[in-house]
Homo-oligomer: A and B are copies of this chain.
Amino acid sequence: MRILIDERGKKYLVNAEKDFQSDLGIIKKEALEEAQPGDTLLSHLSREFKVIKSNVNDFIELMERRCSILLPKDIGIVISYTGLGCGDRVVDAGTGAGAIALHFSNVVGEKGMVYSYEIREDFSIIAQKNLDQFGIKNIELKNQDVKEGIKERDVDLIFFDLPKPWEAVDIAFGALKTGGWLAVYAPYIEQVQLLKKICKNAGFENFNSLECILREIEVKVKGTRPKTRMVGHTGYLVFSRKL
């Protein structure tokens, strides 16, 4: 898969196995196959398309989705707080549109693996379609209810974005490696409060709950200031470690 950018800045996710078609013309698959990041390809209408190194955020920007997705601010903090790394094995539930699974997949790489549970079949089908389109091989989508069990063992990170995450905390404890982390995304403070109790009862330690407020800064000729519009709250992030 490659990303092309046309002269207007529009991005295209391109499958190099067939010809690329757009309103600015066609590019043959042979040209796509050989293209390297930084190359400029010409369509049959002589319009320029730049080949760029594709990135997980480009995928997420271009993919089909039917539900809201986790924001990079929260995904990044899950990765850094849990120390997720290349080669790690992750369990993720629910998949949703698959944004965080794609980020996990991007970090854990070929030697790692992401097992993503989603109870809703419709979300699961869309997510699978996205993975197929992007050629992602290290995410295994499971159209299963995570509360019925996690088959994987010695997992490095388990991430929940579920309405009632506490129902699967014991299951998470069983599946994690000693030293592994459970991370939960929870929009409501009541979820955080309940999780603290349940995590402790399940044997987890190092409970930590936080919220990330992200402010974009506008640097314009008129002046510099935080943007007027901002997301006031997405969710709390809860971390607990199996020790």
Contact = CB atoms under 8 A, between A and B. Distances in A.
A217 to B, nearest CB: 4
A51 interface: yes
24 contacts: A38-B178, A53-B156, A54-B179, A72-B80, A72-B81, A76-B77, A76-B78, A76-B79, A76-B80, A83-B106, A84-B107, A86-B107, A109-B109, A188-B222, A191-B223, A192-B224, A208-B216, A211-B217, A212-B215, A213-B213, A216-B232, A225-B233, A225-B235, A226-B233
A223 B187 CA distance: 8
A110 interface: yes
B53 A179 contact: yes
A228 B232 contact: yes
A62 interface: no
Contact of A56 (B3, B76, B85, B189): B85
Q: How many copies does the complex hold?
A: 4
Given A80-B76, A225-B233, A228-B232, A211 B211 contact: no
Interface in A55-103: 55-58, 72-73, 75-87, 103
A50 interface: yes
A99 to B, nearest CB: 10
A134 interface: no
B213 A189 contact: no
Nearest to A230: B232
B225 A188 contact: yes
A52 interface: yes
Interface string A160-193: 0000000000000000011111000001111111
